[in-house]
Structure 1
Amino acid sequence: MTAIAYHGIVDAESQREVMEALLRGAAGLDVECTHPIVSVEEVSLEGAGPRSLSYRLLSRPYGLLAAKVYRRPPPVDREWLLLRFLAASSLPLVPRPLCRASLEGRTYMVVHEYVEGVPAATLFIEAAKQSLKTGVATVPSEAGALGVAVAAIHSALASCRESWCMPEEPTEAMVERWMSRLAIRASMIEDLARGLPADEARIVYDAASALRQLHQREWRGLLGGVAMQTHGDLHLYQVLVSRSGRIVVTDFEGEPSRQPAGAMEKEHPERDLAALLRSLDYASVLAAQALGGRTVESAIETARGELRGWVEASYRIVEASYVDTLSRAGLPGEVSRERLAFWLVERASYEIVYELKYRTGYHLIPATALLEALEGGLDWLAR
């Protein structure tokens, strides 16, 4: 749906009257609300991603709300399912869902509580910059709370007894599908590397080769643990910290370029921890780049030389609070080093495909991580 505005073509949902009409079932939409919205007073576009548009609504009677409109309605609305389940578990760590609008059985729009806060990424990048200046690893105080939040979400999801989210023992078929992602993405990386500058292309092709070799390893630990629904794309920009210090985890729709993985595939909970650790790696590079005005390649070199200890220290605090929270709840809190290492490789393989596909300029960050993984760069996890 589009409409013509004075400044050009805009999405129709950005008009107050259109948004209000859609929430009342216009254009053949089937609207389901846990808390009915009386009216929409204002609408503003907040962000546009590969799969969806995000709007901020001023509504009655709930004040500020967030609306996510899908460019192409997904076959399964992962976000609505997870938010509904977690809200029913009385978990204050996720936005409260209010309405879903569907078109021909597929979700077109989801409306939930609007959370005002600072992305955790901002806090961690600032801490990394401070660490670079002083030479002392400065970890944000929110690191422990982040581990607690992830543990609480995993604990709630582990209690699910519906087929789409009930935890189960990993099977050989599951492991085969997880492993196949590495080989498939290696080919995708090589295809997407075409057109890169020669020096960058060489690094990316080497990363694809490293991924193939990592695929050949025997990851025997993948048959252990539990497979369950997780957040699915848990990086530091998906976590908001409010003025009161409340941690809120957002955006449960999963990774934008998840292929060949399915949206509802169950995975080890270590995958969310791996995504956070990979996000800390990004934060270290972005901090180095911001301080020195460096290229991505030189920022990676600085981060590896001066912020590796900061990344490790930050992650250890997150993991320690995660394990402690699960243990206090009477749940197994052990984090498997082998499973964590595998999901770090898998996540980096996703990241490099994403960065190359959308030409963000950050493909060398996950490429470097894959090369390091092959050369023993994950050995510190066992210490």
Structure 2
Amino acid sequence: MSEAVTRPGITADALLASLDPLLRAWLPRQRWFAGKGRPITDFTLVSATELLPPTAELGLLHLLVRVRQPQVPEQGGGTPALPADCYQLLLGVRRELPPRLAPALIGHVTRGPLTGFTVYEALHDARMSGFLLEALRVRARVGKLRFERDTRKDIADDLAPRLLAAEQSNSSLVYGDTFILKLFRRVVPGTNPDLELPLTLSREGCPQVPAPAAWFLADIGDDAHVLGVLQPYLKGTVDGWELALRELAAERDFSGEARALGRATAEVHLALARALPTVTLGRTQLELIADGMAERLDSAARSVPALQPYAPALHTTYEALADLGRGEETWTAQRVHGDLHLGQCLRSPAGEWSVIDFEGEPSRPPAERRMPQHPVRDVAGMLRSFDYAARSHEPWAPEWAGDCRAAYCTGYAEVTGRDPRMDPVLLRAYETDKAVYEVVYEARHRPDWLPVPLAAIKRLATNGPATEAH
């Protein structure tokens, strides 16, 4: 379905034809574009909304564009039938681009209804990004776009915006050191856990997760697409990855911070378990989880040959997980973070930890990201993150990683009453699954980093202790 709310007489097809050659060149250069290395074969305009009125001296277009690309066949045959990605774009339109906006240039339109105009990334333009905050503040509705807010929270109308340079899979705007607006670049229909879970945790009174102040969506057909979330900007905080690397470089102990982070993780898990339904994991469920892990391993081994020598030993880890269900004990699954690592945690100057970014692993289907999981999945992700930090240090610091991993589990147990190390089969299986995911990611995006997860794979395949770094 496509719908356009643009200047009178301009159709969606005409608008897309005007922008097509520019987007083909510009999109693959963006850090948040997931389809790097593959040609763009086709665009479909899902929606187009003119956020600034037609009489304004500047134009601001909000687009949802579906991008089709050929899929990459796996080694050994088979091509996954993945849907085209839908991207959110905010495009500024001017006759001439002032020098200060030169880095934002997308291109000069030479055909179609925008002929003669210059198109640029609007988030670099303070006037354009200020418009977004105003729309959230007044709960605007423009075309298919719906802006919502928590009316209990004040949003001033004079907060100066700035675009954060460190973009990953999304883009972020900071407003006056008061709020941060996270704009999702790849959008999907339905509930986004990065809005759903923080809203749930705010109602639960969980202080470790910043509560959303506002958000906006696109209503397309029967589905709502979450496009962005405005949250408090935690001024003065440092993310856990930067802090860990800083402490490593200074050869300072990090186990105290790791223990506090374990406590914060546990508080978030307990709040999620109180607020949302849980699921009992018995034999059938554990076998399904183990089968999924085994399938991901087989797929990864086909894609990354360096993984193949370890695959038989790693399969025994998943077999042990399936065997757990043959006894009488059961486990509980619940909603979790889904992609927890040091970079998803912020420490305040007072030493308090906050947890952010609840989207889950971007490569996993949205429905899978929202499924209840055993909490040890998050724990395993953080243990892998400590290992990554230690491996990035020269010389490698295995004792540092081992101390952090143990301290994190200790802190977690202090809050929940159960140490993750009391479930060694579960912990090993989830850490192995995470390391396999990392192998595929690094092979595709950062080959120089591939030795880091491969070292963990070797340790896990040779039955090294899951809570130590060897």
TM-score normalised by the chain length of structure 1: 0.79
Which residue of the other structure, out of 109, 113, 122, is the alignment partner of 2:228? 109
Give the stretch that moved more between structures: 335-344 or 268-277.
Answer: 335-344
Residues 206, 371 of structure 1: 8 Å contact kept? no
Using the alignment, how far apart are the partners of 2:366 and 2:297 within structure 1?
12
Using the alignment, how far apart are the partners of 1:89 and 1:360 within structure 2?
42
1:258-317 Cα offsets, whole Å, 9 max, x none, are: 3598110111111111111100100101112xxxxxxxxxxxxx53xxx32222221211
Equivalent residue, structure 2, for 1:12:
122
Equivalent residue, structure 2, for 1:92:
207
State the 1:119 CA deviation: 1.5
Equivalent residue, structure 1, for 2:465:
378
Residues 127, 140 of structure 1: 8 Å contact kept? no
1:39 is paired with a residue whose SS is coil
Equivalent residue, structure 1, for 2:28:
none
Using the alignment, how far apart are the partners of 1:261 and 1:29 within structure 2?
23
Opposite residue 287 of structure 1, the aligned amino acid is H
Structure 1: state its 5+ residue gaps.
132-136, 194-200, 289-301
Equivalent residue, structure 2, for 1:365:
452
Residues 217, 227 of structure 2: 8 Å contact kept? yes
Equivalent residue, structure 1, for 2:175:
57
Change (3 A) 1:379 1:13: closer
Change (3 A) 1:360 1:93: farther
State the 1:127 CA deviation: 3.4
Opposite residue 184 of structure 1, the aligned amino acid is E
Equivalent residue, structure 2, for 1:271:
377
Give the stretch that moved more between structures: 148-157 or 87-96.
Answer: 87-96
Which residue of the other structure, out of 265, 283, 293, is the alignment partner of 1:182? 293
Residues 333, 374 of structure 2: 8 Å contact kept? yes
Residues 239, 247 of structure 1: 8 Å contact kept? yes
Using the alignment, how far apart are the partners of 1:316 and 1:102 within structure 2?
42
Q: How does 1:321-336 map to 2 (within 5 A)?
A: 321-327=411-417, 335-336=422-423
Residues 286, 321 of structure 2: 8 Å contact kept? no
Opposite residue 349 of structure 1, the aligned amino acid is V
Structure 2 residue 162 is the aligned partner of structure 1 residue 39: no
Which of structures 1 and 2 has the larger relative contact order (alpha carbons within 8 angstroms, sep 6+)? Answer: 1
Residues 207, 368 of structure 1: 8 Å contact kept? no
State the 1:233 CA deviation: 1.1
Change (3 A) 1:49 1:139: closer
Residues 255, 408 of structure 2: 8 Å contact kept? no
Equivalent residue, structure 2, for 1:154:
269
Equivalent residue, structure 2, for 1:118:
238
Using the alignment, how far apart are the partners of 1:72 and 1:128 within structure 2?
34
State the 1:236 CA deviation: 0.6
Residues 139, 314 of structure 1: 8 Å contact kept? yes
Structure 2: state its 5+ residue gaps.
1-88, 94-100, 107-119
Change (3 A) 1:218 1:236: closer
Structure 2 residue 407 is the aligned partner of structure 1 residue 317: yes
Equivalent residue, structure 2, for 1:294:
none
Structure 2 residue 334 is the aligned partner of structure 1 residue 228: yes
Using the alignment, how far apart are the partners of 2:209 and 2:345 within structure 1?
9
Residues 123, 140 of structure 1: 8 Å contact kept? no
Residues 120, 241 of structure 1: 8 Å contact kept? yes
Using the alignment, how far apart are the partners of 1:57 and 1:210 within structure 2?
51
Using the alignment, how far apart are the partners of 2:404 and 2:426 within structure 1?
19
Identity %: 25
* Structure (1 or 2) with the greater helix fraction: 1
Change (3 A) 1:16 1:191: farther
Which residue of the other structure, out of 78, 83, 103, is the alignment partner of 2:193? 78
Residues 230, 266 of structure 1: 8 Å contact kept? yes
Q: Which has the larger radius of gyration?
A: 2
Structure 2 residue 443 is the aligned partner of structure 1 residue 356: yes
